[in-house]
Amino acid sequence: MIIGLIGFGKVSQNIVDLIKSDDIEFITSLENRSSKTTEAIEKRKIKALDTFKEVAAASDILISANSPKNALEVAKSYGKYCNGIYLDLNNISPETTFKINEYVGDLVDGAIIGKIDSDNPTIYLSGKKSGELLFLDEFVNTFKISDEIGDAAILKLLRSTYTKTLSALLIESVEVAKEYDLENEFFEVLSLTEGENFREKSISRINNTLSNSKRKSEELDEIINYFIKNDLVMVKAALEKLSRFQP
């Protein structure tokens, strides 16, 4: 089986490292790629064809893992040449996923949950052909949600609805705890019910949110706009909270 990769950043590099099988060959292209990407491809000795069009045509599975900004353009450019399954792993909105579906024959909508280089990366899939990708579970946790394109993207957005809003609430709670000089006790008392690593996880979540507050705000905005028919009072409050941390 041939798996083609459009994009050779962290996601594709980890996929190549995780999926070790004599039955699978990875291919990609150096077409218009940066020196960083070229070096990563050469370091892993991945077969590079002249163009991504050739990669698309030669692949049984074509993985698009480049950037949220380029995902649609990539699908428009190469989707039509792909005779196999087109697996989109970009962090894109459900709307973009639906647009991509217009340009691709057998699309599978994929959502990586958490960082790909985390201890236990998990991929959720949706789309009619997603069952055919469940063999990936041998290498990386893989689940099928449904036959519906968009379900994986919506699930990812729902996850963000919870985690990003919770981060804003954590920031606020810790601010108040500090004011009363009870920060340590606050974490201790919550650890009783939330688990031993609550403090470490919370601090990492808070720091991550504060150092990326602009992007996190954009993501909250995207959630509010996508679930426009739902009454997302908490998400709106989280967005307002994060706006206080921007210049």
Report how far apart, in Å, the C-alpha atoms of 77 and of each of 35, 56, 118, 163 are. Answer: 22, 10, 31, 34
- Alpha-carbon Rg for the chain, nearest whole angstrom, is 20
> Which one, 84 or 241, has the nearer CB to ligand NAP?
84
Q: Tell me: does residue 9 bind ligand NAP (CB under 6 A).
A: yes
DSSP code per residue over 112-140:
EES-TTSSS-EEEEESTTGGGGGGGGGTS
> Which one, 7 or 84, has the nearer CB to ligand NAP?
7
Q: How far is the CB of 212 from ligand NAP (least distance, A)?
A: 13
Site for ligand NAP in 17-76 (CB under 6 A): 33-34, 36-37, 65-68, 70, 74
Residue 7, C-beta contacts closer than 8 angstroms, at least 6 positions apart: 63, 64, 65, 66, 67, 74
Q: How far is the CB of 8 from ligand NAP (least distance, A)?
A: 4
Among 26, 82, 90, 168, binds ligand NAP (CB under 6 A): 90
> Which one, 65 or 223, has the nearer CB to ligand NAP?
65
**Count of positions on this chain that bind ligand NAP (CB under 6 A):** 22
Among 1, 105, 115, 131, binds ligand NAP (CB under 6 A): 115
> Which one, 98 or 186, has the nearer CB to ligand NAP?
98
The SS3 of residue 78 is helix
Residue number of the CB atom closest to ligand NAP: 9
> Which one, 85 or 89, has the nearer CB to ligand NAP?
89
- Residue 55's closest CA among 76, 79, 72? 79
Q: What tokens appear for 73 in the block?
A: 């353009």
The whole-angstrom distance between residue 103's C-alpha and the CA centroid of its chain comes to: 21
Instruction: Determine contact, residues 170/131, Cβ cutoff 8 Å.
Output: no
Strand partners, 63: 5, 87
Among 3, 6, 58, 223, binds ligand NAP (CB under 6 A): 6
241: alpha, beta or left? (left if phi > 0; alpha if psi -120 to 50): alpha
Among 112, 136, 149, 239, binds ligand NAP (CB under 6 A): 112
Among 16, 49, 75, 116, binds ligand NAP (CB under 6 A): 116
> Which one, 64 or 241, has the nearer CB to ligand NAP?
64
> Which one, 91 or 173, has the nearer CB to ligand NAP?
91
- Burial group, residue 57, by CB count within 10 angstroms (0-12, 13-18, 19+): middle
Instruction: Enumerate binding residues for ligand NAP (CB under 6 A).
Output: 6-11, 33-34, 36-37, 65-68, 70, 74, 89-91, 112, 115-116
